[in-house]
Each structure stands twice: as C-alpha cells, then as structure tokens.
C-alpha cells in the first residue's frame, strides 16, 4: 500500500489558542505551515470561560497583538462586554477584559486561519513523531497520522492542551477525554516519553453552564460593561454594540454545608485525583475547605453569546457528582430554579515540565521539536496564545536558519512567562499575575506596541497596516512630548506640570488648547510616560545591571558537572535548567552569588 506524504517547513499539532497563534506566526514569517487538529469544528474553541484578558492576562493579549497575533482582533470582533479592571490603581495595574460570544469567537479564529497565506488547516489525528539521529542527537523530521500518512517537516510544534491521556471526572464517574464530548490523545504522550521527555500530570476544572431563561436576575447584582470601552487590538477602530450585561450572586452557609457533607465524593478529596490543580483558580470544594472562615464566595454569571441562553458560572468550578450539583444551585440566590445545561467536571492530563525547554521553547532533548501551551504546565487562553506565537515564530526562524526570538523579562509579560517556565519550572498550573513581573511599570497594556511592534517588524511578523498605524502613533506621541516640553506656563513646562500627582491631561489642554487634537490613546501614554518617568528610570538602571550579567552567555555544551567546587544542590539545578546566561542562572531558585562566581570563573 502506498503511503501519502506531505512536505512542510513547520507542522503545528493542535488548533487551540496556542496552536492557531503558532501556525499563524510561522506562516506570517513565510514558512510553509500545516496546522493539524483532530476536529475542524473545534478550532479556537474556548474550552472554559467565555472571556479574554483579565489582570496581567489582558497585558499579554495586547502583547500578542503588538507582535501581529490574532487574539486581540478576534475578541474585538466578537466581544459582548468590555471592561478595564483595576482603574482605581496605577496604570501598570490596568488590565483589559472582555466577555466573548463563544461561538462567534471560535468561528472568527477559524476564518482567519483559513485565510492566512502559507497555512494549510487539516483534520488529522497525530499518532507518532518521526525522529532521526543526526549524530549530534535526535531531531524531529515529521509526524505520522492515523491512516498511515506522513507529514514531513524539520520543525514541529506540539500544542495539545489538556488532551494528552486526558481523563474527565464528575464525582465517581470517569470518562476519557480532554473536553466534554471529545476524546483524548495517547499516541503523542507515548512518543514524547519514548524520546526521553519527562511527563507529569496536572488537573484543571470547569463550572456548570446554566440556562439563562431559568435564572432570576432580579435577585442578582448587575455588572455592566464600561461606558467607553477600549479595544484590545491596536488596529481596532470600533467595537461591536450593544454590550451585554453580566450579573453577580453569592454562595452561602447552606451551600458550604452541602459541599462539606459531600467532600468524600469529590475526586480531589476522595483520592480519585492525585495531581495538582491551579491554586489561583480553585474549585468550589477547595474554596470551602481552604477559606473556611468565609461565609460566602462571589459567582459571576457570564453569558456565552448573543444567540444563546447558555450562562457560564464563573467561580464555581467543580467535579462534585451530578446530584450534588443539582442540589447546590437550588440554594443560591437567583439560581434556585436554574436548569443545568452542562455539568461541571475536572480533567487530568499529561504535561511536560517546562525546564526541559530552551527559552525558544524548543526541547533540549530533540532538535526541531517545540512545545507550547498547557503541555508546558500553564493554564489560560492568554498564556497559551503567547507561547504558541513565540514557539511558532521560532520554528519558522529555525527553518530558515535565523536566530530565535527570545523576549527578556523587561520586554513584556510574555518574556516573564517564558523565563519563569524554563528557569523555575512549575509545581502547579502556571497563571500570570502582575506580581510576577518585577518591571511592571514598564509593561503597561497601553505601551505594548511601543515595546514589541518594532521587534515584530524587524522579523517580518507584521503587515503594512500595522506598521503604518504604529509609525503614526509613535510620531504623534513624540510630537506631543516635544510640545509639552517647549510650552511654559507659570514658570514651568507643561511636561513638569503633568508630573504633579494632581495634574491631569484635561488641565494641560486648558493651558494649551492645541492639545485637544491629540488622540485619546496617545494622550494616555504621554501622561503615563511623564508621571512615571522617575520610577521607570530606576527600573531601567536595574535592567542595565541585569543585562551586564545576561551578556555573559553560557554555551549549551557547558559542563556544570565539571565544576567540582559547586554545591551538590547548585550543580543539580544548573544541570537540570542549563541556563543560557549568568542572568538566567541567577534566577534559578537556590542558586547563590557564590555559585554564580564559580560559574563565571569557569566560563572565563
């Protein structure tokens, strides 16, 4: 029997948020790319909450967009409610978030993928990796799919989400599958293990969905969107209207008593599930146990779209049995008569601890093999999209023999994310927070394009439209700053006036009406730049110190085991992570200045 073969530069396995961003990035860079998925009907599907963004996550989406990615454009086109979080705090903490029309979001992702030049979307079940030994070690050269066909490429990106040997739990009931109504993927786990890539298990969960027609919203708090909503993408001129409201209700003592009485039937507490779950997105069972002093927990009722009554209950992720879920909602204000359309469940799945990756997201074990998304131990659409974009871009860059794109911690939250994963590893599903970024004053959502779009432009990741828009905005900001510096009122420049904590842009416009023509986005960035210039200068001084360490590169072949004077713990950690620079080595937990000094001596 003749075997079909297909030749590409890059193959991306999995068409979720990581896979679609990765495939699009590779194709934008000119690589002939194949995106393989088990079902064309689930491309870009929102497996859990119907929302994009949030604290720190919103900044990541803006960064994905600044690098030419699609997540921001898709949520702008299909969002049903937009809010800016943390407006009472400083601008570094402001984070955009939007509710999505879940089905429309998925369809828009698929449309963009199908329209992308250099990209073929194919429905295939990948069963094995094809690897060859080239003398310097194994390197990937393609994949085998069900039915015997072979896709050939020297760069492969795996973005399989929660589908590797996945097992769903609802109470005592267990079903193979990575998402309700879908199957699991076992072949890739076996292929990775055979190649010496270590796998572990994580757990995540999802809440029930309710029929909105059966909810009594009069007993819930209204949560409207912003009156003047902000888009995610730097390309978006206008957002869809009208916005759809969300609502808030709360659990109570009766709910907590019911959960405590049935903990022995919850897989996380019965011993049925052994793996770690996301500490910062706990199940309702976890909340009741860990926060026993709280008499209620907030629940957000989030519509799943304009053309459906299905409502996502954010805050009540659970794997309790169906009968307990039925009883539980009868005790919650406004939900007493609510009908459950989909029951909550937990899912266990394989992931590959990410310290097995280089900062490019290529595996250290197999050349040409990249991993992105939940397979690296993360949680969240935004974290997945960020990894996918960088892995896909690096696969395409490797295919043409170019240097990898590695963002630094001061470049963006995406740089913080990757560095945390490959340097520190994970002991629970990783979620981004503003507190993880030591340079967050530099990493505001409003300046993501100024930080990253020039990098994307240099590589060829963006198109003419984005290039022109960015150039126009940058020029407007520069002109405005020069005008502020040149205009003096009452003995000080307008720039000095804006530094005062109580001074506002409106106050500056009163003093110089010419400023009224400055766009809202440019004005916001100018004010933030001026007000926080002193703090930013201090952070940049610290960055310069760290970069001096980063300049001291450590070759991939460097033998940490040969440094006999190193403490055993330090040697083991350095051999495990194999840092690419002294700066990365310094960020490994437990590595001391004395350890670094020894490494520096041996390097020299």
Q: What is the pLDDT of residues 262-276, one digit of tens each?
A: 999 988 777 787 777
Compute the distance between CA of residue 603 and CA of residue 266 in angstroms, rounded to an integer: 53
- Whether 549 and 583 have beta carbons less than 8 Å apart is answered as yes
Topology classification of domain 209-345: Elongation Factor Tu (Ef-tu); domain 3 (2.40.30)
Return the residue matching tokens 């978006």: 236
Instruction: State yes or no: pLDDT of 498 exceeds 90.
Output: yes
pLDDT band, residue 280 (cuts 50/70/90): low
HEC profile for 520-587? HHHHHHHHHHHHCHHHHHHHHHHHHHHHHHHCCECCCCCCHHHCCCCCHHHHHHHHHHCCCEHHHHHC
pLDDT at 602 over 90: no
Cα Rg of the chain (Å, integer): 25
What whole-number distance in Å separates Cα of residue 416 and Cα of residue 584?
Answer: 12
Residue 25 has pLDDT above 90, yes or no: yes
The CATH number of domain 551-603 is 1.10.3720.10: no
pLDDT at 125: 93
β-partners of residue 370 are 157, 362
Output DSSP code: residue 4.
P
Q: Report d(CA 374, CA 381) in Å as an integer.
A: 9
Residue 402 DSSP label:
P
CATH number of 5-204+349-456: 3.50.50.60
What pTM does this model have? Answer: 0.92
Q: What is the pLDDT of residues 464-492, one digit of tens each?
A: 999 999 999 999 999 999 999 999 988 89
* CB within 8 Å of 2: residues ≥ 6 apart: none
pLDDT tens-digit readout, 452-467: 999 999 999 999 999 9
**Residue 572 pLDDT grade (very low, low, confident, very high; cuts 50, 70, 90):** confident
pLDDT for residue 273: 73
Higher-confidence residue: 314 or 550? 314
Q: How far is CA 260 from CA 250, 263, 286, in A?
A: 17, 5, 10
Q: Which range, 386-395, 481-490, 526-535, has the best average confidence (pLDDT)?
A: 386-395
Q: Which architecture characterizes domain 463-536 according to CATH?
A: Orthogonal Bundle (1.10)
pLDDT of 171: 83
pLDDT at 124: 96
> What is the distance between the terminal CA atoms of the chain, rounded to a whole angstrom?
58
DSSP-based three-state secondary structure for 129: strand
Helix (H, G, I), strand (E, B) or coil at 74: helix
pLDDT, tens digit (0-9, with 9 covering 90-100), for 398-450:
999 999 999 999 999 999 999 999 999 998 899 999 988 888 889 999 999 99
Provide the pLDDT for residue 151. Answer: 98
SS3 assignment for 481-507: HHHHHHCEECCEEHHHHHHCCCCCHHH
Q: How many CB atoms lie within 10 A of CB 337?
A: 11
Beta strands in 183-254 (DSSP E): 200-206, 209-211, 221-223, 246-250
The H or E element that residue 97 is part of is strand 95-100
Task: Please tell me the predicted confidence (pLDDT) of residue 594.
Answer: 76
Look at 334-338, 495-499, 530-534 and tell me which has the smallest mean pLDDT: 530-534
CA–CA separation, 357 and 500 (whole Å): 46
pLDDT band at 310 (very low <50, low <70, confident <90, very high): very high
Q: What is the pLDDT of residues 97-134, one digit of tens each?
A: 999 999 999 999 999 999 999 999 999 999 999 999 87
Query: With b meaning 16 or more CB within 10 Å and e meaning fewer, what string describes 76-98?
Result: bbbbbbbbbbeeeeebbbbbbbb
Q: Residue 2: pLDDT band by 50, 70, 90 thresholds?
A: low
Domain range summary for the chain, segments of one domain joined by +: 5-204+349-456, 209-345, 463-536, 551-603
CA nearest neighbour of 244 among 310, 302, 312: 302
For 475, other C-beta atoms within 10 Å of its C-beta total: 11
Q: Are 15 and 113 contacting, i.e. CB atoms less than 8 angstroms apart?
A: yes
DSSP 150: E
Count the Cβ atoms, other than its own, within 10 Å of residue 598.
Answer: 19
- pLDDT number for residue 187: 82
The DSSP line for 448-479 is HHHHHHHHHHHHT-S-HHHHHHHHHHHHHHHH
Q: What local confidence, expressed as pLDDT, does residue 1 receive?
A: 56
Average pLDDT, the chain: 92
């Amino acid at each position: 029997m003749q075997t079909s073969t297909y030749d590409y530069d890059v193959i991306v396995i999995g068409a979720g948020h990581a896979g679609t961003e990765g495939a699009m990035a590779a194709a934008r860079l000119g690589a002939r790319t194949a995106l393989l998925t088990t079902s064309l009907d689930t491309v870009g599907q929102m497996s859990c909450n119907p929302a994009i963004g949030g604290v720190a996550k919103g900044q990541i989406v803006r960064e994905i967009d600044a690098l030419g990615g699609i997540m921001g454009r898709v949520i702008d086109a299909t969002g049903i409610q937009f809010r800016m979080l943390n407006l009472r705090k400083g601008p570094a903490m402001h984070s955009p978030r939007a509710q999505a029309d879940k089905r429309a979001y998925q369809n828009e992702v698929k449309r963009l993928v199908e329209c992308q030049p250099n990209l073929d979307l194919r429905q295939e079940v990948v069963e094995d990796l094809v690897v060859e030994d080239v003398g310097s070690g194994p390197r990937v050269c393609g994949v085998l799919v069900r039915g015997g066909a072979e896709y050939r490429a020297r760069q492969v990106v795996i973005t399989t989400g929660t589908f590797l040997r996945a097992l769903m739990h609802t109470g005592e009931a267990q079903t193979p599958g990575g998402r309700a109504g879908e199957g699991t993927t076992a072949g890739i786990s076996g292929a990775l293990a055979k190649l010496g890539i270590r796998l572990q298990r994580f757990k995540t969960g999802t809440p029930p969905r309710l029929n909105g027609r059966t909810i009594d919203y009069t007993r819930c708090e209204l949560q409207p969107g912003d009156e003047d909503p902000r888009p995610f993408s730097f390309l978006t001129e206008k957002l869809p209207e009208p916005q759809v409201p969300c609502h808030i209700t709360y659990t109570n003592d009766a709910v907590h008593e019911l959960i405590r009485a049935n903990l022995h039937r919850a897989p996380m507490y019965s011993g049925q599930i052994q793996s770690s779950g996301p500490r910062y997105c706990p199940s309702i069972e976890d909340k009741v146990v860990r926060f026993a002093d709280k008499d209620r927990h907030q629940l957000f009722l989030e519509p799943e779209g304009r053309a459906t009554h299905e409502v996502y209950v954010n805050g009540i992720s659970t794997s309790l049995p169906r009968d307990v879920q039925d009883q539980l909602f009868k005790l919650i204000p406004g939900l007493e008569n609510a009908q459950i359309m989909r029951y909550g469940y937990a899912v266990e799945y394989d992931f590959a601890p990410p310290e097995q990756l280089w900062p490019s997201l290529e595996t250290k074990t197999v050349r040409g093999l990249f991993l992105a998304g939940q397979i690296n131990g993360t949680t969240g659409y935004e974290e997945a999209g960020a990894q996918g974009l960088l892995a896909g871009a690096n696969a395409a860059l490797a295919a043409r023999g170019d240097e990898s794109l590695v963002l630094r911690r001061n470049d963006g939250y995406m740089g913080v994310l990757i560095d945390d994963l490959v340097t520190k590893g994970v002991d629970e599903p990783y979620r981004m927070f503003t507190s993880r970024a030591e340079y967050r004053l530099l990493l505001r959502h409003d300046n993501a394009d100024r930080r990253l779009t020039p990098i994307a432009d240099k590589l060829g990741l963006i198109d003419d439209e984005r290039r022109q828009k960015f150039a126009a905005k940058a020029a407007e900001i520069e002109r405005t700053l020069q005008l502020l510096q040149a205009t003096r009122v009452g003995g000080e420049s307008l720039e000095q006036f804006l530094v005062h904590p109580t001074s506002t842009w409106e106050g500056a416009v009163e003093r110089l009406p010419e400023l009224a023509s400055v766009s809202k986005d440019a004005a916001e960035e100018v004010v933030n730049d001026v007000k926080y210039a002193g703090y930013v200068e201090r952070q940049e001084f610290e960055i310069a110190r760290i970069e001096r360490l980063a300049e001291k590169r450590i070759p991939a072949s460097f033998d940490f085991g040969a440094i006999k004077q190193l403490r055993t713990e330090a040697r083991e950690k350095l051999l495990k992570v194999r840092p690419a620079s002294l700066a990365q080595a310094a960020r490994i937990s437990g590595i001391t200045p004395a350890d670094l000094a020894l490494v520096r001596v041996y390097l020299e």
